[in-house]
Structure 1
Amino acid sequence: MQNPATSKQQVLEVLRDAGVNPTSQRVEIGFVLFSACAHLSAEEIMQRVNADYPVVSKATVYNTLGIFAEHGLVREVIVEPGKVFYDPNVSPHHHFYYVDSGELVDIPAHDLQVRSLPDLPEDTELQQVDIVIRLRRKTNSSTVARA
């Protein structure tokens, strides 16, 4: 989803248009994800959905995010083992991942060019290229403690 969702009705329509059955829990999860237009983990989504009172289980959140990814509503961005962000921006783009803060930031597709790829195995075709550039903020040598 490219533009933020401004209502749950809009999320319901987006889900229907994508062929996803819009259950109340899916609409809640979709609204949190699509209204924020941010890179969120499943845990962050669950916390936001359940902020007022628990309505959605962890399994439901994970299953729903999987369905959203299968239907092209979100991209799963795996930044390290066990750390996955869900990105509602499904247009071609890449990411900076700040390992020290856990922040994920978009890189417009035109800012990074892949000049060539290896030969693909027989009977396969390229689906997508996702690049995550891992960064760490520089430490100032004057702030390093002296022994």
Structure 2
Amino acid sequence: MLPPKSPLQILRSADLRPTRQRLSLAKMLFDECDQHVTADWLYNKALSNGVSVSLATVYNTLNQFTKKGLLRHIIVDSNSSYFDTNTNHHHHFFFEGTGQLKDIPSDVIKIHGIPLLPDGATIDRIDIIIRVR
């Protein structure tokens, strides 16, 4: 197993300029095991760690990280969206009472009977969210 990359290595590998704020947010996201975070959660964690950052900067950084493939954006519904540090293909349980996401390995779910795609379209990915109580 390879040792984990530092936040600086992660940003450089994604061709992102390693600003102080990006480095701080990357450390909070990637220094732990895979996690599902909201922008509000990351913003509050940054503030509690003494990182001076605006909520807009947190959103912008999460979106930049997603665009560069460092995160996966999971939209649960019109009011709930999460950023997943596990970018490998997988699905999720969503616990409606707590708002928590839990990974489901992709090989556990088998998909059959996909409708014909429109002409010229290709499947990018299939995301399954199973809502539980």
Structure 1 residues without counterparts, runs of 5 or longer: 137-147
Partner of 1:50, secondary structure, is helix
Task: Write the deviation string for residues 83-139 of structure 1: whole angstroms up to 9, x where unpaired.
Answer: 111100000100000001111000001111112322222222211111110011xxx
The alignment status of 1:22 with 2:18, answered yes or no, reads yes
User: What code does the residue aligned with 1:122 have?
Assistant: D
Partner of 2:59, secondary structure, is helix
TM-score normalised over the length of structure 2: 0.91
Q: Are the aligned partners of 2:39 and 2:59 in contact in 1 as well (CA < 8 Å)?
A: yes
The alignment status of 1:88 with 2:85, answered yes or no, reads yes
TM-score normalised over the length of structure 1: 0.82
Task: Write the deviation string for residues 47-106 of structure 1: whole angstroms up to 9, x where unpaired.
Answer: 111113351101100001001110110001111212111100000100000001111000
The alignment status of 1:53 with 2:21, answered yes or no, reads no
Partner of 1:43, secondary structure, is helix
Structure 2 residues without counterparts, runs of 5 or longer: none
1:63 aligns with one of 37, 60, 63: 60
> How far did residue 38 of structure 1 move?
1.1
Structure index of larger Rg: 1
Q: Are the aligned partners of 2:24 and 2:51 in contact in 1 as well (CA < 8 Å)?
A: no
| Corresponding residue for residue 139 of structure 1 | none
Give distance in 2, aligned partners of 1:99 and 1:14: 33
Give me the CA root mean square deviation.
Answer: 1.7
Q: Are the aligned partners of 1:4 and 1:34 in contact in 2 as well (CA < 8 Å)?
A: no
- Runs of 4 or more, structure 1, over 2 Å off, are 3-6
User: What code does the residue aligned with 2:41 have?
Assistant: E
Matches within 5 A, 1:1-147: 10-36=6-32, 37-136=34-133
Residues 1:46 and 1:5: Cα distance change in structure 2 (over 3 Å): farther
Q: Are the aligned partners of 1:39 and 1:87 in contact in 2 as well (CA < 8 Å)?
A: yes
Q: Are the aligned partners of 1:95 and 1:132 in contact in 2 as well (CA < 8 Å)?
A: yes
> How far did residue 30 of structure 1 move?
1.1
Give distance in 1, aligned partners of 2:44 and 2:126: 31
Residues 1:38 and 1:62: Cα distance change in structure 2 (over 3 Å): same
